[in-house]
């Protein structure tokens, strides 16, 4: 693969490189510079495409299905308006979804469309993505997905990590400060968040896993910040 | 994990349906919004998609095909909506979600959304399927009834145009890419 083919590949596939492209990248400093810009662009593109989803979308989908056989659209609209009003009131009262719920929702959503790689991602690529937000990772060797995402409107690094005991989701959030460690069990998952650098780190594992503590300890040791 | 969630619910239609809604509604909404660029219509499209999915859930034999099945239903439903309503609806697409204390990233994301909005439909749609849904060129080609080569050409041109639009707007992130 030459430089022109490599750049064309990037503009067709984003930053998901196949073997020939990866091999070219390792040997070409010009394309490494290009790839850095491209990674930044893809991060922005993903953020731009990920438009906010209406708060009560899932509820309204289920509601419409429930009423569809018996109600006409006017009845549905009235109930939807009522729910919207209640939802808006609750949202005003309680504010946005808590951080742990946002992390879990994002982790589950992402599983829906991101097929994790069959093999560990190259560490150089993971470092590049994490470094884009000022994070450094050591000793997390088997990462199957790494990308940027938005949590509560702030950029974060999103990772899927394989271990012998199972897979977990890791969020590195340089712009989400946290005062103390928080751990909650939500919908069959355990979400652990703790302060890290000027921001925080979130870990999402299946509830009841007996490897939560060791995972948290491993993550604490693996993550450091340059910001 | 999602596959497991959906597959475990195979025996129960309601649970299976709920799993599909939970897992795919957000992506479908984003796809719908970039298709029609009209938030109320996008939500209506997603609701209608799941209503149709509920009615014909028995025909979905393989849960691995659920995602493409839903995206295809939504795309067809969008075509029907266009037949019914187009032209003339007011495009009220907005850029909500950009924080009031917008930083440089937020501004670039906002400008990129405007640029995506300016892309021709034939370029925006395959790019949306690639970025939001994570589909390969081959999968996009099947959904859009194109060849993989055509899909590659369109996503290539989509990215190139976005970079040019961003450069024209003075956003430095892409100057190094296009330069």
Mean of pLDDT values over A67-88 = 58
Residue B172 is predicted with a pLDDT of 53
Q: Which of B37, B53, B85 is the last residue of a domain?
A: B85
| Whether residue B75 is found in the same domain as residue B108 | no
Residue A196 is predicted with a pLDDT of 93
Residue A155 is predicted with a pLDDT of 73
Dihedral Cα A203, A141, A227, A34, nearest 10 deg: -120
What ipTM goes with this model? 0.81
| Whether residue B128 is found in the same domain as residue B165 | yes
B96 compared with B103, residue with greater pLDDT:
B103
CB < 8 Å to A49, chain B: 30, 34, 116, 128, 131-132
Spatial contact of A166 and A211, defined as CB atoms under 8 Å apart = yes
Give me A158's structure tokens. 């999103």
CA torsion sign for A218, A117, A7, A31 is positive
pLDDT 10s digits, A178-204:
889 999 888 788 899 999 998 999 999
Spatial contact of B173 and A37, defined as CB atoms under 8 Å apart = yes
> Pick from B2, B97, B82: which is nearest to A49 by CA?
B97
Decide if B98 is inside a domain. Answer: no
Residue A196 main-chain phi, psi, to 5 deg = -155, 125
How, if at all, do strands A167-173 and A182-186 pair? unpaired
pLDDT 10s digits, A144-161:
888 777 677 567 888 888
Q: pLDDT > 70: what percent of chain B?
A: 74
Spatial contact of A161 and A139, defined as CB atoms under 8 Å apart = no
Select from B26, B33, B109 the Cβ nearest to the Cβ of A47: B109
Give me A4's structure tokens. 């022109």
Decide if B95 is inside a domain. Answer: no
> Pick from A120, A113, A109, A128: which is nearest to A33 by CA?
A128
Report the residue count for chain B: 179
| Whether residue B14 is found in the same domain as residue B65 | yes
Which residue range is the domain that position B20 belongs to? 2-85
**B41 — contact with chain A (CB < 8 Å)?**
no
The winner for highest mean pLDDT among A57-61, B105-109, B148-152 is: B148-152
CA-to-CA distance for A33 and A142, rounded, in angstroms?
A: 26
Question: Where residue B78 sits, what CATH number does that domain have?
Answer: 1.10.1740
CA-to-CA distance for A150 and A172, rounded, in angstroms?
A: 11
**B109 — contact with chain A (CB < 8 Å)?**
yes
CA-to-CA distance for B58 and B13, rounded, in angstroms?
A: 8
Question: Where residue B110 sits, what CATH number does that domain have?
Answer: 1.10.10.10
CA-to-CA distance for A40 and A133, rounded, in angstroms?
A: 10
CB < 8 Å to A106, chain B: none
CB < 8 Å to A45, chain B: 112, 131, 159, 162
| Whether residue B77 is found in the same domain as residue B140 | no
Select from B96, B132, B173 the Cβ nearest to the Cβ of A37: B173
Taking the CB of residue A192, how many other CB atoms lie within 10 A of it?
Answer: 21
Decide if B179 is inside a domain. Answer: no
**A112 — contact with chain B (CB < 8 Å)?**
yes
Select from A12, A45, A47 the Cβ nearest to the Cβ of B156: A12
């Amino acid at each position: 693969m030459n430089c022109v083919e490599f750049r064309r590949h990037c503009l067709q596939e984003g930053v998901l490189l196949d073997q020939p492209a990866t091999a070219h990248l390792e040997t070409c400093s010009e394309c490494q510079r290009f790839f850095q810009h491209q990674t930044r662009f893809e991060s922005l593109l993903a953020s731009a495409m990920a438009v906010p989803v209406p708060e009560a979308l899932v509820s309204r989908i289920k509601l419409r299905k429930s009423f569809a056989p018996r109600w006409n659209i006017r009845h549905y609209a009235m109930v939807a308006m009522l729910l919207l009003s209640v939802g808006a009131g609750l949202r005003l009262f309680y504010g946005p979804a808590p951080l742990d719920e946002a992390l879990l929702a994002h982790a589950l959503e992402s599983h829906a469309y991101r097929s994790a790689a069959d093999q560990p991602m190259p560490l150089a690529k993971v470092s590049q993505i994490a470094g884009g937000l000022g994070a450094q990772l050591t000793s997390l060797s088997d990462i199957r997905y790494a990308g940027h995402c938005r949590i509560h409107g702030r950029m974060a690094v999103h990772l899927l990590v394989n271990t012998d005991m199972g897979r977990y989701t890791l969020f590195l959030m340089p712009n989400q400060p946290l005062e103390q460690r928080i751990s909650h069990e939500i919908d069959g998952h355990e979400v652990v968040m703790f302060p890290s650098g000027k921001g925080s780190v979130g870990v999402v594992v299946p509830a009841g896993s007996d490897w939560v503590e060791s995972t948290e300890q491993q993550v604490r040791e693996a993550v450091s910040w340059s910001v | 994990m999602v596959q497991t969630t959906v597959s475990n619910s195979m025996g129960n239609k309601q649970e299976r349906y709920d799993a599909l809604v939970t897992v795919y509604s957000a992506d479908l909404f984003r796809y719908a919004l970039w298709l029609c660029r009209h938030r109320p219509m996008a939500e209506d499209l997603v609701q209608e998609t799941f209503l149709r999915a509920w009615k014909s859930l028995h025909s979905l034999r393989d849960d691995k095909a659920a995602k493409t099945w839903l995206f295809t239903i939504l795309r067809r439903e969008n075509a029907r909506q266009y037949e019914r309503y187009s032209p003339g609806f007011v495009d009220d697409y907005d850029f909500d979600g950009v924080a009031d204390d917008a930083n440089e990233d937020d501004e670039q994301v906002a400008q990129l959304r405007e640029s995506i909005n300016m892309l021709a439909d034939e370029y925006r749609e395959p790019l949306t399927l690639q970025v939001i849904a994570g589909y390969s060129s081959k999968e996009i080609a099947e959904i859009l009834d194109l060849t993989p080569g055509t899909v590659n050409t369109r996503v290539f041109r989509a990215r190139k145009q976005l970079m040019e639009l961003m450069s024209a707007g003075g956003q430095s992130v892409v100057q190094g890419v296009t330069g």
